[in-house]
Structure 1
């Protein structure tokens, strides 16, 4: 599971990731990834100083009522946290924020299937370019 220290809990961090991060969609998830590098210009301003900027990656979840009732939403959230935990080593930059929006179809998926979709999202070209802008020229 993902420790509480690795969860995005502040609205400003959610907003920052949703507005400036790279958005990738998979069959059942919408994933927003934001590597926190010093060279990134962020229109939301600097990150709050009282929040640690080491020891990431951090995870934020959006599991709305369209997914199901409270029991189902919590089950989906637990599976997403377990899937994220399995994929923590896939982040090129540890100081990364990821917000995952669950779609209705995630109800039927296991943690392993969700983990595969997170890995698929992290392997997409747009995300790789966000982690390393020098990849942009190498990939073309």
Structure 2
């Protein structure tokens, strides 16, 4: 489970990341990221923060919640690899409903790597 301090809650924080941050599209996800210090965002929070957007286009409620749970679990795995001042918003696209957790993990890591936030994408353990 993603710890409470590592979650984005306020609509203002989501808006700042979406509007001022950089974005990278993947086949089932769009990853938006911004550094809090660069954009004048409150820096009293320590550690990277994640926000999820899973719209009705992804599917019915059960499907959306399943996708969100998978993404939260993946974000927990990525926490230690990001700088403390990073805010990330992940927007799930309709294809995320049929994607496996491993595919979503690879796509998230790939997007973060392209944004210069991770060293290299990691696949599922072999």
Q: Of 82, 98, 115, which aligns to 1:108? A: 98
* TM-score in terms of structure 1 length: 0.77
SS in structure 1 at match of 2:102:
helix
The answer for the alignment partner of 1:53 in structure 2 is: 45
Question: RMSD between aligned alpha carbons?
Answer: 1.6
- Answering whether residue 68 of structure 2 is matched by residue 74 of structure 1, we say no
Render the CA deviation track for 1:31-50: whole Å, top value 9, x for unaligned: 1011223xx2x3xxx4358x
Q: Give the unaligned 5+ runs of structure 2.
A: 118-126
Q: Is the 8 A contact 1:82 1:111 kept in 2?
A: no
By how many angstroms is 1:24 displaced? 0.4
Render the CA deviation track for 1:3-22: whole Å, top value 9, x for unaligned: 12211000110011001111
The alignment covers a number of residue pairs equal to: 117
Q: Give the unaligned 5+ runs of structure 1.
A: 132-140
Q: Is the 8 A contact 1:29 1:100 kept in 2?
A: yes
8-17 or 112-121: which moved more? 112-121
The answer for the alignment partner of 2:121 in structure 1 is: none
Shift in CA distance, 35/48, structure 1 to aligned 2, threshold 3 Å: closer
Considering only CA atoms, is the larger Rg found in Structure 1 or Structure 2? 1
By how many angstroms is 1:53 displaced? 2.0
* TM-score in terms of structure 2 length: 0.85
